[in-house]
A and B are shown apart, each in its own frame.
Chain A
């Protein structure tokens, strides 16, 4: 079964790449191999440099693949493995990949300007600001959400905690080797990879770093974020980023092989119930809330920023865009497919391992397997319960992953540690990165205070204060918000999908007004855009009225505030969209 699903997914994506994808390329984007891209035309070897399409694919994919495609599906399996898979396949095909591809190509046609800039051009200046606000919110929420998932995982798995800390050390060493010595590049890289493997193996054999206290873990993460973001990039961030790509590709290859050779049926329920309790223990209707759970892997607004940030400035040829932009998204879909597959096939094996604890906590394991509706009610609670100790969404993933890798003779705990490091390496990079950006964003936000009080502004704009504030804000949301990482994750995904909405609206406007595409293909872009907008809007309204009220008081105010503001902006955005759609204004590409 596992092999079947994985191979089917591969076939699915390949088939649609060459049919649907090519159709998009030909009729919507009208990619022309003879037209020089900005990378060629505006080449300055600073930002604009044409890159080999395979290399660019690698960079783009590594940038968009983080912990997102792992965490999202791992939360969504409470609906059963099939609904999640449906969204990863069809959501990706009809919305996600189109979003990524069109954002990339629109940016290419606008001299490599960001999609935010293009949205300003096509839909009015206010779109730019709305974009910015969504980004700020996304950044704050993702810190809280990721801190939560990592905390849940690491508090229950000293192997993974040890491995992540040792990996940090490996990255530090790698940084010194790569940048401060004259050691040949490939030697330093090999040492780095060896150290990484060493970190995983050490975590497996000798998990000496234990921290079951999740609050303490949150504190450590905050301190880590603040310190890491203050260090020069070459010290920790860059080498870790570099080693992350080895983990990513290694992980993908190993897991694909394991999945194909597992020949295991799925013991996990295919479908539990439409409104299984997925987010914050609330009955979550699959439509419209699935985009709040599975973001990357199916659809993610952040990809449009990555694509139109650096990738579009490095695209060597318009015809490479499909491979780089569209292809990467499909690749991410494969990644999420593998995540769901491993949980689908081995999730219950994991549960069996926790049978006593599950029973002690008052849940009926046998019933979970035979009664899908019951599973839908209690599945998330079982996964997240600290008493049972699976370790949350990342916990169920890493443990299933360990089981799956055991098929190719890798010890279970070792595989689990590998999966754990994979997820946590990306989580920690995101935390570090986001804090750097949030620092900058924060300093922008407090600018107006200068007019009121120079003294106060001086203190606020100090980069330490900005960094600490941003980190603590995230910490506050998760630590004082009752460890509600699913709610925070949904909040983050919501903001992320709003970004996707703007990007899709922009792409749709571009397709109509600039590309002047005919009715058929226009529908291919317009329908997903509206479906997306309506779905996300409905999901956020649901979130506001169903999830927010049951979260801790602190969260209610902040999350509620964010979401409400975003909903208002979303309506404004739609208004802008209609206005510019109906205007006869022609904008030059």
Chain B
């Protein structure tokens, strides 16, 4: 009996987590894009994109670990853009 309740609780928790992800998947994708752009803009000086004067960049560089990680992820995936975009949208 106990085990049944436990597994029910577990299922509900999984369901809950799943539904929450469902409710935010597109927003998370947008967030990744925003962080990516932010990183590109500030770090762009290292790849030829017009970017803020070095001073601003140097000040915030120490805190940009997440944004840099996202940017690296995106750049690595540039050869397969479709998987990053089409997969998220409901077309069928």
Contacts and interface: CB of A to CB of B under 8 A. Distances in A.
A52 B18 contact: yes
The DSSP consensus for interface residues of chain A is: helix
Interface in B68-92: 69-70, 73, 77, 79-80, 82-92
Interface string B19-34: 1111111110110100
Contact of A55 (B18, B73, B91): B18
A44 B30 contact: no
B7 interface: no
B82 A309 contact: yes
B18 A433 contact: no
B9 interface: no
**B interface secondary structure, majority:** helix
Contacts, number: 138
A529 B29 CA distance: 34
A426 B90 contact: yes
Nearest to A302: B92
Given A46-B73, A429-B90, A113 B27 contact: no
Contact of B80 (A55, A114, A239, A433): A114
Contact of B73 (A44, A114, A178, A306): A44
Contacts of B24: 238
Interface in A40-77: 44, 46-47, 51-52, 54-55, 58-59, 62-66, 68
A142 B32 CA distance: 28
Given A52-B14, A59-B18, A59-B21, A305 B82 contact: yes
Contacts of A63: 87, 90, 92
Contact of A113 (B14, B70, B83): B83
Contacts of B70: 46
A306 B85 CA distance: 10
A311 interface: yes
Contacts of A434: 89, 91
Interface size on B, as a range, is 35 or more
Nearest to B73: A46
Given A66-B91, A433-B90, A237 B22 contact: no
Contacts of B91: 66, 139, 142, 302, 430, 433-434, 437
Interface string A416-449: 0000000000100110011011001000000000
A433 B89 CA distance: 6
A116 interface: yes
Interface in A212-270: 232-234, 237-239, 241-242, 244-245
Given A44-B73, A59-B21, A116-B80, A309 B88 contact: yes
B87 A309 contact: yes
A116 B82 contact: yes
Chain B CB count within 10 A is highest, among A114, A131, A135, for A114
A179 B27 contact: yes
B92 A68 contact: yes
B84 to A, nearest CB: 7
Given A113-B83, A117-B83, 5 more contacts: A55-B21, A233-B26, A234-B26, A434-B89, A440-B85
Interface of B: 11, 14-27, 29-30, 32, 69-70, 73, 77, 79-80, 82-92
17 contacts: A52-B17, A54-B14, A55-B14, A55-B21, A58-B18, A59-B18, A117-B80, A142-B91, A186-B16, A189-B19, A232-B30, A234-B30, A241-B22, A241-B25, A241-B26, A309-B86, A310-B87
